[in-house]
Amino acid sequence: MKALDELTFDNRFARLGDAFSTHVLPEPLDEPRLVVASKAAMALLDLDPAVAQTPVFAELFGGHKLWAEAEPRAMVYSGHQFGGYTPQLGDGRGLLLGEVYNEAGEHWDLHLKGAGMTPYSRMGDGRAVLRSSIREFLASEALHALGIPTSRALCVIGSSTPVWREKQERGAMVLRLAHSHIRFGHFEYFYYTKKPEQQAELAEHVLNLHYPECREQPEPYLAMFREIVERNAEMIAKWQAYGFCHGVMNTDNMSILGITFDFGPFAFLDDFDAHFICNHSDHEGRYSFSNQVPIGQWNLSALAQALTPFISVDALKEALGLYLPLYQAHYLDLMRRRLGLTIAEDDDQRLVERLLKLMQNSGVDYTLFFRRLGDESAALAVTRLRDDFVDLAGFDAWAEQYKARVARDGDYTQEQRRERMHAVNPLYILRNYLAQNAIAAAESGDYSEVRRLHEVLTRPFEEQAGMEQYAQRPPDWGKHLEISCSS
């Protein structure tokens, strides 16, 4: 276990130099205070969890203090936002403080979001508000607990610094951890600004540090792109299987590592709704729940375009062709497991589709349905769940098909079925209204609800005593919350 001053830095991205990032010091928040910290994320840096309670912790992650070995840099990138190209973005309010390596030899980027203005702030103030910082923190740690690849969050630091959004709010910072903060938009930036040397340097950097196994392949860059396609297909399959809607899948928010990245107006589905749009400025529904699948491919094509200096167009197209079949395979595999099935049958895709259609028509709670399905034998469970459906004849037909399918699947006890299903069907997810309750309390200075909710979400598959209120459908006020896109 390490103290805060015992972290070991190795700032590999900073060493790429000024063409890739700019040195900027964090701008401190007034009266920094700890809102919440993740013990699990601290463990990634070998940090003793007790250090979160020391004043220096809030000073470090509130922008007041810096390690001597840190090299805070604002990275430059660009990206396609809602389908249109924005030639220069960059860390407008976040700084890569440095890269820490832990005792297991893993490197972790320390990225401080809300750290003040940078050369890339454009019209922005460089700040992040408490509300959005809590949302990013909770989402990162909750997705990780569900087994969905994601950036992590070490802590949220609150403050008394006023920040203007639709109304006056308070500034906060979230310390994000990831093995890399390189986005699709980094490659796009050097491609569209026609800087082939830096483009090559970036590609070498990513290949050497993050995809070293691709070096062994006859065409290392192609192997790396293929791997990025595969990881994205798997990540998005998990989003779809668990009802996660990202909301802002611009290419500057897509990680080169295939992890969920840059949380904005995201939401988990309450009632199943394939057409759900969580981002209220997304009038066309470009990033609606079901559109995440084709948009994943669109984004990979944008990255492919930026890689044309290194890889032939034919090879890129072939690699892009892997996306949908891989997505389908991962998605179906997870959905089968959510249904308690252990072997694959040809008709499983239809079984899933018919269920989702019924859930859509009746507004059935996506998370609780699967959890309850595992509570009992298939026959008993469908009898109990039947009441939630409007199209009873449709549900009965599906239920018959499901029971027959379960009977063909294998011989196991109800105990085994429950255990297996509960291990993939969470009881607790980050519902918008739960986040909203925690944020409202935090905005009035009470952080206990954020901390409790975070605790519950770190063990989403385990029934926790006294936590029934976190496993409920939203109350009426919490069903269609307008989550502000400003952050």
258 is in the binding site of which of Mg ion, ligand AMP, none (Cβ under 5 to 8 A by kind)?
none
60 is written with which tokens? 């470090």
Q: Which residue has the tokens 């390189």?
A: 182
Question: By Cβ distance, which residue is nearest to Mg ion?
Answer: 262
Quickly count: other Cβ atoms within 10 Å of residue 383's Cβ: 12
CB of 264 to ligand AMP, least distance (A): 5
CA distance 113 to 152: 13
Judge whether 125 is annotated as a binding position.
yes
Q: How far apart are CA 316 and CA 295, in angstroms?
A: 17
* Closer CB to ligand AMP, 93 or 405, in the complex: 93
Instruction: State which residue, 367 or 487, has the beta carbon closest to ligand AMP.
Output: 487
- Which residue do the tokens 């252990």 mark? 342
Rounded to a whole number of angstroms, the minimum distance from the CB of residue 443 to ligand AMP is 18
- Shortest distance in whole angstroms from residue 180 CB to ligand AMP: 16
Is residue 154 within 8 A of residue 61, CB to CB? The reply is yes
Residues that bind Mg ion (CB under 5 A): 253, 262
Known binder of ligand: residue 126?
A: yes
Out of Mg ion, ligand AMP, none, what residue 90 binds, judged by CB under 5 to 8 A for its kind, is ligand AMP
Nearer CB in complex with ligand AMP: 316/435: 435
Identified catalytic residue from 91, 109, 252, 365? 252
Q: Which is nearer to ligand AMP, 47 or 128 (CB)?
A: 128
Active site residue 18: no
Q: Is residue 92 marked as binding?
A: yes
> What distance in Å separates the CA atoms of residue 62 and residue 14, rounded to the nearest whole number?
21
Taking the C-alpha atoms of residue 214 and residue 264, their distance in angstroms, rounded to an integer, is 32
Q: Is 262 annotated as a binding residue?
A: yes
Q: Which is nearer to Mg ion, 111 or 330 (CB)?
A: 111
Binding residues for ligand AMP, rule: CB under 6 A, are 89-93, 121, 124-127, 248, 252-253, 262, 264, 487
Contact 151, 177 (CB under 8 A): yes
Helices (H) and strands (E) in the chain, counts: 16, 11
Return the closest-CA partner of residue 333 out of 238, 229, 421: 238
Alpha-carbon gap, residue 335 to 330, rounded angstroms: 9
Q: Is 176 annotated for ligand binding?
A: yes
What is the C-alpha to C-alpha distance for residues 248 and 266, in angstroms, rounded to an integer? 8
**93 annotated to bind ligand:** yes
Active site residues: 252
Known binding-site positions? 90, 92-93, 113, 125-126, 176, 183, 253, 262
Known binding-site positions for ATP? 90, 92-93, 113, 125-126, 176, 183, 262
